[in-house]
Every structure is written in structure tokens, then in C-alpha cells.
Chains A and B, each alone.
Chain A
């Protein structure tokens, strides 16, 4: 064991390089027809932010309605449409593409030492599919909305509502292809485009996490597509697969739907975990504790993730023995997540820790994801699931994982790589404040919902018994704080595009290959193909590199 001392380079004389991927070509067309993974990532970043704020506004409406026990702000039908669109937009148009399509798209080729993804045109196509799907979903929302919930439960969605189910289903169908193409592109790239010396176990864990998530995208999404096509066929020609009157089985839809939608949870969270690896390692200046265990735990989550779907259906009359099996498998999938949490905690041990914004968001992630994960065990345990499922407990649980986990990770990653993407630093103090505000607001919003759920308050209710009001008021109050927490980054990150400090190549002194080139990078990423001659997270290597530079310049 030896040690490293690293100090930040002097930035007063730094300049943004004249030639980079942002300045190489100009004009709208150069963006809309680009094959550059970094530009496509920026396009994605803008579009998912747009959808995040639509979904967020809908969440605001939900919380406002729930301020009082009566359904007085909007009619129940409107409320149903609002929460349905909130779920659909947040899941299919924000969470699923969030980290992979933006940060993954931008940094996987750079981390591997490649010039681009393996299939640049497919990458662009997947963005166009995403935008087309998003527009279709918005069109469905504006022309009357959809009130099936994001789960499209049959026979409600096939026989009992007359809202825009087909249009929305089609939108998700198309978005699914966008996700399949992204996953496929990542898999091919990771297999085929690694720089010389970049073995599988020298890849950053961010790449491992994306590899696992990509497998889920490619294998899971087609099943969702099938389920949606069957819903559309049932609505249009009445094929009767889900209709008990015609000998169909309404439960079949749920099997198909959750066969995708449970792995989808891991599609959403695994890339976020990938971000946390990079951030924690960088700001504690230490190799991730137990690299191999963390890498394999990602793969284990992906594999087990496919065999737990029926835990969404414990009370729906699946056989008791199926419940046993799925409950047991659910316990097994919880273990790799626990491993990751402890490995991250021990990465800090004997490190040299600094507390920049990405690190604060990562700490937030660890706390909230631990709560989200442990409450997941309450639901995976078949006995307590009976009482807690379909209540606000489950709402709180998945918001802790998805918002407390994934969104925190996304913001951690966005701040972490912002200097690399734009060449400029974000303002540190105010962004640290935003991280703290988000954390406090989040807990205020979602923790009371655990208690509400234990009390039995059902989800998707526009009105509720008056004794639940106090906790709902807390939750709504928390949501306003959370709203501020999300608005702040938009403001200061936009500000920093022009006024932020110049970042330089490697402001965090991180070890990834993406940091060993200029910021913002060249369109080709590297001037010469890098050779990976060291392990991932090798801070001593970084130190030697710097010494070499100093001697060669001197």
C-alpha cells in the first residue's frame, strides 16, 4: 500500500480549447444530423429535462389536490389523468433514458477510449424515436389524456375507459424501440470498441452498470411492446386475450407487463449506481472497494431482476406456491444492492475525502436508496405485502428508489461531468445548497407517505378520509421545497454555461480516460487512441502521469 498526494492544477490561465465538439460545426442542422455521441447526449439532456419538468408540474398538481381530503381542485377524472401522465412521462420519458441516454451516451465511448459508439446513426435514430414518442405522448395528453395509470391494467384499459389509450400505448411502444437501440448500441460498443489494454476488469464500474442495464433493455423491452400491442388489438378488434368473457385471462397482461416493468426498475437504477461508483471513488481518491464484487453485483441484479416480476401480484390470486418462489427470489435480488451500499461506504475508509456537490448528492443517494431498498424488503416479504401493497407505502418506496436514488444519482453525475461536457465549472456553493435542499425536501415529501401507507391510505385516490390530512399536508409542503431544489440547478447550470470558471482537462483529478483529454472534448474524443496500461481508479498512475508532464514541460 502506498499513497498519493494530488493538488488541483492552477486554473487562472486556463482557456476553453477553440476546437471542440461544440464548436466544430455550427447551425441547427449540424446538431439534428449529427452522429457524434456527445452531441446526441446533449440533445437527450435537453429533451429529458423538458419532460422532467412536465412530469414535475403534474406531480405538483397531484400534491396540491391532496392538500385537502376532498377532491376539490379537480374532478376525479382529471386527477386520474394527471397521475397517469405523471407516471408515464416520468418513467418512460425521463427515468428510463435519464442516465444512459445522456451521461452513458456521452461517456461510455470516452471511458472505453473509443471515438464514438459502435452505431452512431442508430444512436441518432434512437433520439428521433424518443422525440417522436414524446411528442405523441404529449399529443395524447393534450387531446384528452389517458386515465389508466401507467400500468395499463386490463380489462380497465381495454374495455372500460374511452381515453387515448391507443395513442399513449403507441407512444410507449415507440419509446421502447429508442431504449432497445440505446441498449444494443452500448452492448456492441462495450464488446467491440474498447481501447488496447482495456480489459473487462479495467473498465470503470459505470460501464459495467450500463452493460447490465443494456441487457435488461434489450431483453425486457420487447415484452412490454408485445403487451402493449395486445392491448391495442384488444381495444380495436377485440381479440380477447385478456377478456374473461372470451376465455382470456386478465392476469396475463400483468405477467407480461411486469416481466418488463420490474427489470425496468433496474434499467432505471443500475446506471445511477454506476454514477455513484465514479463519484465516490473520485472524491475519496480511492479505488472502489471490492471492484469485482461491485461489477458482478450489477450483473447479478440484471439476472435476478428477470425472475421476480410476480412480486407485484402477490394478492392477485396467483398460486400460493408461486408467491413463495417469487418472494424468495426477491430476497436474493435485494442482496447485491446491499453489497453495493457497503462497498461504497468502505470506499471512503482511509480515503482523502472532499465534499463537492456530486459527493453530497451521492451521500444523499446512499441514505435514500438504503431506505428505499429496505422498504422494498417489506413488500417482497409476502405476509406484510398483503397489508402494504397498493397503498402509499409502495408509492413512498418506489419514489425513494427512483427519485431519491436515481434522480440524486443523475444530479450527482450531471454535476460531476458538467465541467467535461461544457468546459466550465458550476458554482460550487449554491449547488451544494441545492443538494441539501433537495435532500431535505425529498424526505419531507416522501417519508410521511410511509406512515400513510401503513395506516392504509390507498394510492391513486383523489380524496381520502380526513384523518390522513396532516401527513398529506407535510408531504405537499415537502414537495414545494423539493421543487425549489430541482429548479436551482436549472438556473445556475444555465448561468455557468457563460459565466462558470474554466474547468480545464481534469478538475477533479479523476482517473477515467474521459478526464485525460480536453474539456469539452474533441469530436474524435482523443487525439490519439489511448492505451490502457493500468487498472481502473488507479490514482498512483494519475500521479505518475502528472509528474511526467511536469518533467517533460520543465
Chain B
């Protein structure tokens, strides 16, 4: 065979070694989704078989040769009701089953660890709370719920991990989230599945699932020296946020300690919960989000902070649990040069050499 046609031979060898018919199941939700998938495959096969059997058997039984004279039949309400109600019932079962899974995939548990993911033409950038960044790859521990908070810096992207059966659109200007719990250590495909321009098909990467121990090692070995919240703190200082958002009694802006997750009353009379999305909007588009009792004097930071910068700020504000932390930031504007010295040996990326500018849009 190999002498006859090397091309066919190669093709067959490839087939034998690489042929896959079903993706690996590497998350908690995967077997649940597959159960529904196979239920639907089964129903479809039965439905298709019925249609094929009806058509072929009628074609044989009532072909003109065997059955030269047609018998006119008007219809049958009973039969028609049967094939209306049975499919409807089956579809409704699928609807309910599917909705249960849908809500599970998009409702993260409270104890999930959060990783931020920024999509941009044409790469995925993951920001871990510990300050680890990675591009076109994502390291996660097995056996732990991981929530991804996604945003796009430009166009729609879609973060897809087929082995986990999860996918979520990364939307410009808005946080979306999805969660999973990986079960099997290994390396899996990461795809951008929403068409996003020239190099859409190169916006791919690997999701690496590590055992909890390996994950700890990985975290330690790829730290950039400062956590995400620390980066946010620097940005908070360098953008002079603390000029207003300090804890002094005459402060022009509200204190941000413990603001995350709290209920706020806005000047518009609305009550909102200060979640990630609210914090982001309040930084970029403050005039729409003025807390009651304060003047609308905050300038917009639209176009001045990159999405990574906003994420760092949000993460910093999330972790502000006391006025004392805010005061520390306020009084240590001279923290910047120090941290540069501290962070440099830890294998910083290019942006890290200029911590004050990190997260800011270069102009």
C-alpha cells in the first residue's frame, strides 16, 4: 500500500493516529452536557429512522406497479395530533434540561476563584489575581471552581474551551462571565469562536489543567512580583484617584473602602449593587454613576486606561477592606520608585519597567 500511493498511506496513518469523534470530557459540566447531547442524538436518530422507514416502506408498498390506483384520504386529526404532541413534548423536555445546564454554566458559585481575561485582536490575555499574566494560554487548577471575567478591548471575541463544553462571548465595553471546574489535568484547546477579523484563526491557545500542587508551583514560578491588586494600587496612586477618593471628612469623592458588593444610591435615585461592571462603568463613564451626596466632578477615564488597567483598579477596589488601606495608598505616592526596584528582578515584562504607566494607554 505504501508503495502504491504515499499520499493515501500518509492519510490513513494520520487517520488511525489522530482520528477523534468526540472531544475529551475535562470539566464537571462536560458529562452533564454530553448526557443531554446523547439524549438528543438518540431522539434524532429515532425520528430520522421513523421518517426514513415511512418513506421507504410507503414507496415500496404503494409504488405504481404494486398499487396502481391511489386511495384518496383527507387526513386524520388523531394522527396529526400525535405527531404534533409527541415532538412538542420531546422538545419541551430538551428545553427544560438544556435550561438547567445553561443556568449552571453561567451561574458561578460564590467560592470560585476569579481570573480576568481580556480579548483583543488577536490574542487572549489572562490576568490572575496574583499578578501572573499569560498570553494565549490559561493555567488552572483541577478540582477547583474557576470563574472567568471576560472583556474585549476591541471587537466581539468568544472564549471557547471545547473540552470543558463552555464558551462565552467577550464583549467590548462589558464584563461577561463563565465558570468551570476542570477535572482532568492535561492540555486542551482554547479557541476564539467569534469571527474577529484577519487573524481570527490564529487567536487560539492552550488551557493547561494542573494538579493543585503543580498549580501552586506554577503560580510561584510565573509571578510578576506584584499582585493584580498591587498593580491597581499603583495605578490608583498615579492617576491621583486618592485626591478625591480619600477618607478625609471633606473628601470630594466617596470612600471606596468596602464599596465592592455594597448597595449604592445614585443621584438619579437608582439603587445599584457595586459589582465589577458597575466599578468599571463608574471609572470610564462617571457622570452616569454619581453616588448621592457628591458633585458630578469626576472626569472620565475613557481612553486613558487600558482594559487591563481597569481590571487592576477593579481588583484593587475589590480588596479595599478598610479606610486604613486607602490612607496608605494616599500617603505613599512615593511608593512608585520603590516598587520598581522591588519588582524588576522578578522577570518583569516590558510594561513593568514603568510601573506608573502600566495599565495606562500609551499616548
A: residues with CB less than 8 A from B are: 1-5, 71, 76-77, 79-80, 147, 149, 151, 153, 155-156, 159-161, 244-245, 247, 250-251, 284-287, 289-293, 314-317, 320, 323-324, 327-328, 331-332, 334-335, 338-339, 341-343, 345-346, 348-355, 363, 366-367, 370-371, 374-375, 377-378, 380-387, 389-391, 451, 454-456, 458-467, 469-470, 473, 539-540
Contact yes or no, B98 A345, CB < 8 A: no
Chain A residue at minimum C-beta to C-beta distance from B190? A456
CB distance from B95 to the nearest CB of A (A): 5
Interfacial chain B residues near A375, Cβ < 8 Å? 44
Task: Let me know if B99 and A383 touch, CB within 8 A.
Answer: yes
B72 touches A470 (CB 8 A): no
B88: nearest chain-A partner, CB-CB: A335
Asked whether B72 lies within 8 Å of A1 as measured between CB atoms, the reply is: yes
Interface contact B94-A377, CB-CB below 8 Å: yes
Q: Who on chain A is nearest to B177 by CB? A: A317
Residue in chain A with minimal CB distance to B45: A374
Interface set, chain B 88-111, CB cutoff 8 A to A: 88, 91-92, 94-95, 97-103, 105-107
Given A153-B195, A250-B171, also A383-B18 (CB < 8 A): no
User: Which of chain A's residues have a CB closer than 8 A to the CB of B64?
Assistant: 352-354
Closest CB-CB distance, A6 to chain B, in whole Å?
9
Contact call B80/A343, Cβ cutoff below 8 A: yes
Report yes or no: B197 in contact with A80, Cβ–Cβ below 8 A. Answer: yes
CB distance from B209 to the nearest CB of A (A): 16
Query: Chain A interface secondary structure, helix, strand, loop or mixed?
Result: helix
Inter-subunit contact B68/A459 (CB<8 Å): no
For the complex, is B258 an interface residue (Cβ under 8 Å from A)? no
Q: Please indicate the chain A residues that have their CB under 8 angstroms from the CB of B285 in the complex.
A: 247
Q: Is B196 an interface residue, CB under 8 A from the partner?
A: yes
**In the complex, are the beta carbons of A370 and B11 less than 8 A apart?**
no
Q: CB distance B162 to A387 under 8 Å?
A: yes
Write the residues of chain B forming the contact surface with A, with a CB cutoff of 8 angstroms: 11, 14-15, 18-23, 33, 36-37, 40, 43-44, 47-48, 51-52, 54-55, 58-59, 62-64, 67-76, 79-80, 83-84, 87-88, 91-92, 94-95, 97-103, 105-107, 121, 154-156, 158, 160, 162-163, 165-169, 171-174, 176, 189, 191-202, 204, 285, 302-303
The CA of A287 and the CA of B11, in the complex, are separated in Å by 51
Q: Contact between B162 and A160 (Cβ–Cβ < 8 Å)? A: no
Q: A338-B84, A383-B105 are in contact. List 5 more A-B contacts (CB 8 A).
A: A79-B201, A316-B171, A339-B83, A375-B44, A382-B102
What is the minimal beta-carbon distance from A83 to any residue of chain B, in angstroms?
9
A390 pairs with B160, CB closer than 8 A: yes
Return the contact of A461 from the options B23, B105, B200 (Cβ within 8 A): B200
Closest-by-CB residue of B relative to A336 is B84
Contact present for B40 and A339 (CB under 8 Å): no
Shortest CB distance B320–A (Å): 26
Is A391 within 8 A of B201, CB to CB?
Answer: no
Nearest CB of chain B from residue A416's CB, rounded to whole Å: 17
Most chain B CB atoms below 10 A, which of A286, A355, A387, A539: A387
| Inter-subunit contact B162/A348 (CB<8 Å) | no
Query: Which residues from A are CB-within-8-Å of B196?
Result: 156
Known contacts A293-B80, A338-B87, A345-B51, A456 near B23 by CB under 8 Å: yes
Report the Cα distance A285→B69, complex, angstroms.
8
Docked complex Cα distance between A328 and B165 (Å): 22
Partner of B167, one of A377, A389, A469: A389
Contact among B20, B69, B167 for A390, CB-based, below 8 A: B167
What are 17 inter-chain pairs, A to B, with CB distance below 8 A?
A: A3-B71, A159-B155, A250-B156, A292-B75, A316-B156, A317-B174, A338-B83, A339-B80, A353-B62, A371-B44, A383-B105, A386-B33, A386-B165, A387-B162, A390-B167, A456-B23, A459-B195
